[in-house]
Structure 1
């Protein structure tokens, strides 16, 4: 096991290297490449990854606490049973990433590309997902209570059994969604009726 603390790396290429089972504390990585890198079971605490490339990287069973992954590429990455605890993921792209069994505890996932991913039965309470792209996602029976879903893209997503109570749903086009079996607040119900053209008094 290795440990890095307070290190700064800029435009370093770690691609296809073995970085498994390490601990990174308060490190900064700017525009670094981790393409195809083995990062299984690593732990990051308070780290910043800015515009880094994790395409096809293996992050299985990794744990991230209060770290930031801003405008990073995770296309094709394996995040099976990874944990993100109060992390900032804004602007990152998870196209075709493997995210089964992932744990997301709070944090900011705004402006992320999460298209077609499987979040069924996930506990997503309190997460910030402003303008995130969740097109075609499986969200069945997920718990989104208290989440900020302002202007999130939910078209073609599976929503049966989703719990939206206490969530912010401003800017969502309810007319394009299949809401059968969804749990909502009275406030959400009024917004839904307004979207259909009804006058709610």
Structure 2
């Protein structure tokens, strides 16, 4: 059975390179905890808060951070593979350069986030709030971005190929040199009221 920790507070602790495999935290608070180069496989964080936590160069695989709040955290070169972050919020975090492969990041709040150069591949991101986020030069390929909130987002040079862009209104985003495929182009054209014919 996973090791369960509930309603605990961790403050000013050094968890450098900690192995968090199969740990289970519920309603816990982490303040100024150093998780640099930490790893987690199968770990679960439910309803936890992270304040000024360093996730630098940390690696997370098949782990869950559901309904968590991240405030002023540093995720420099952090990697998430097959992780679930449904319903979580990132506020004033350093998210560059973030790498995410697979997993479920739906109903997530990344509004106003600096995601320049981030890589999201094959990620479920339904109804994720990306409004005002800076995604310049980022890669979001093969992602389910249906009904995501985009208003004011910077998509300059972003690669969005093979992603579901249902709900994207291109008139509300900065879109210079944004890369999409032919099928996406047709979907967006129809959303704008164009009648596409051969």
TM-score (norm 2): 0.91
Q: 2:21, 2:138 → 1: CA distance? A: 31
Q: 2:33, 2:119 → 1: CA distance? A: 28
Contact 1:175 1:195 in 2 (8 A): no
Cα-to-partner distance string for 1:122-164 (whole Å, 9 max, x where unaligned): 3222111111111122222222221110111112111122222
1:103 alignment partner, one of 99, 104, 122: 99
Aligned-residue Cα RMSD (Å) equals 1.7
1:15 alignment partner, one of 3, 6, 11: 11
- In the TM superposition, what is the alpha-carbon distance from 1:197 to its structure 2 partner? 2.3
- In the TM superposition, what is the alpha-carbon distance from 1:10 to its structure 2 partner? 0.9
Q: 1:180, 1:17 → 2: CA distance? A: 44
Q: 1:51, 1:133 → 2: CA distance? A: 19
1:173-184 map, 5 Å: 173-184=169-180
Cα-to-partner distance string for 1:58-95 (whole Å, 9 max, x where unaligned): 22222111100001011111112222111111111111
Residues 1:164 and 2:160 are matched in the alignment: yes
- In the TM superposition, what is the alpha-carbon distance from 1:120 to its structure 2 partner? 2.4
Residues 1:90 and 2:86 are matched in the alignment: yes
Contact 1:100 1:118 in 2 (8 A): yes
Q: Which moved more, 1:63-72 or 1:14-23?
A: 14-23
Q: 1:78, 1:122 → 2: CA distance? A: 14
Q: How many residues align?
A: 197
Q: 1:128, 1:10 → 2: CA distance? A: 28
Q: Which moved more, 1:89-98 or 1:119-128?
A: 119-128
Q: 1:179, 1:53 → 2: CA distance? A: 34
Q: Corresponding residue for 1:125?
A: 121
Describe the SS at the equivalent of 1:144.
Answer: strand
2:195 alignment partner, one of 174, 196, 199: 199
Give the structure with the larger strand fraction: 2
Q: Corresponding residue for 1:40?
A: 36
Structure 1, gaps ≥5 residues long: none
